Structure 1
Amino acid sequence: MRLFAGLLPPQPVRDELARALEPHHAAWPHLRWIDQENWHLTLAFLGEVAEEVLPELEIRLGRAASRHAPMTLAFTGAGAFPSARRARVLWAGLRDCTESPGGAGPGRGRPRIVRLAESVMAGARRAGAVQADEGKRFRPHLTLARLRADADVSPLVEALGPFAGTPWEAGAVHLVRSHLGARVRYETVAEWPLTARAPGGRD
């Protein structure tokens, strides 16, 4: 089964962000906008995982989640990979409201969500659920749209720059199965609360 571990933003937060994006859809018809029902923050992409690995994976991910405290996050601004002028992916930035300002998007510092992602990936690796570790640095973001070819989305990134979403609590890690097809569908297989009493966490 094709799996990833991530955080799922609550519906009101998704609705708020969707309203901010809606006026831009008509002006950017070549973007493949992601259905807001499928919005998620990936902590670890696992790919194809054998059924027999699942029990150990669930133990390891539950253990990882227990070492981290809930965190208050907020969507803010926008950006693109690999760059706004040669974009293939449009994303919304993320801010940890319980830490110092400045963590508005991918690549800024090492906030708690990064440490959580490192713990989750370490647990998945120990369970044998990661077949190939590409060594990519975790960059927290919410994918909003994809492009089939490089395009300059600088005006869109600039227009979305002032967006500052309502803070929300991320309180659980979800193990999610991807059902591929004409329309991608996600199914939560298991979830574990973030139960540590203080911020931080270790692998």
Structure 2
Amino acid sequence: MRLFVGLLPPPPVRDELVLALEAHRPRWPGLRWLDPENWHVTLSFLGEVPDPVLPELRARLADAATRHAPLTLSLTGAGAFPSAGRARVFLAGLGGDLPGLARLADHVGNEALEAGAGQTDRRRFTPHLSLARCRADMDVSPLVEAFGTFSGAGWEAGTVHLIRSNFRGGTTGGTTGRTTGGTSDGTSGRAEPRYETVEEWHLTARAPRGQS
């Protein structure tokens, strides 16, 4: 199965971001806006993981979770990959305990590799939440600038999720301009994957003294 490890923003955080994006979405019909219920912060992309690897992967991720404390995070600012001038992904940035988030991502990725899963050529961790995708390179500099002042409420990220990507190919008719958990949004001609939490673990370590 195709897996990744991530954090899920809680519903109030998602709702706040949805409202903040409402004024921007109609001005960018060329973007494929992702379903808010699919929004996530990827810690480690694992790709296709053979079933025999899953027991050890689960055990290692469970152990890793006990070694990290909950993180205070927020969604703030905007950006694009690989660049605003030639974007393929429009995204929201993250604020808060970014050093702690980077340590968690590195630990999770290393444990996945030790279990026989994950990517040996992992890229440098860049915390973000993807909001929209482009079929071809697009200049989204005005959107990045306009949304760059966004600053959302903080939340406590206390649970790591092992998530499966369920791809459903083909296109659908009767689109509404918004993705809804695996249906096409009418801009890319592709179905958005549906994400399913396979297992989750709470971050249970105590925060270092002086941190909440």
Amino acid at match of 1:153: V
The DSSP-based 3-state class of the residue aligned with 1:84 is: coil
- 2:3 pairs with 1:15: no
Contact 1:88/1:146 (8 A) holds in 2? yes
User: How far apart are 1:161 and its partner, in Å?
Assistant: 1.0
Please tell me the residue identity of whatever aligns with 1:75.
L
**1:5-154 pair list within 5 angstroms:** 5-96=5-96, 99=97, 111-130=99-118, 132-154=119-141
Unpaired stretches in structure 2, ≥5 consecutive residues = 170-181, 183-192
Give the 3-state SS of the residue equivalent to 2:42 in structure 1. strand
Find the counterpart in structure 2 of residue 188 from structure 1. 197
Q: TM-score, normalised by structure 1?
A: 0.89
SS in 1 for 2:22: helix
Partner of 1:108: none
Q: In percent, how many aligned pairs have the same letter?
A: 64
How many Å separate the matches in 2 of 1:44 and 1:135?
8
| Aligned counterpart for 1:158 among listed residues 139, 145, 151 | 145
The structure, 1 or 2, with the larger RCO (C-alpha pairs under 8 Å, 6+ apart) is 1
Distance in 2 between the 1:121 and 1:135 partners? 8
TM-score w.r.t. length of structure 2: 0.85
Question: 8 Å contact 1:112–1:199 — kept in the other structure?
Answer: no
Give the Cα separation in 1 of the matches to 2:130 and 2:208.
26
The answer on whether the counterparts of 1:82 and 1:88 sit within 8 Å (CA) in structure 2 is yes
The letter for the 1-side match of 2:113 is R
Runs of 4+ with deviation above 2 angstroms: none
Distance 1:76 1:38 in 2: 18
Task: Report the alpha carbon displacement of residue 75 of structure 1 after superposing the two structures with TM.
Answer: 0.2
How far apart are residue 199 of structure 1 and its match?
A: 4.2
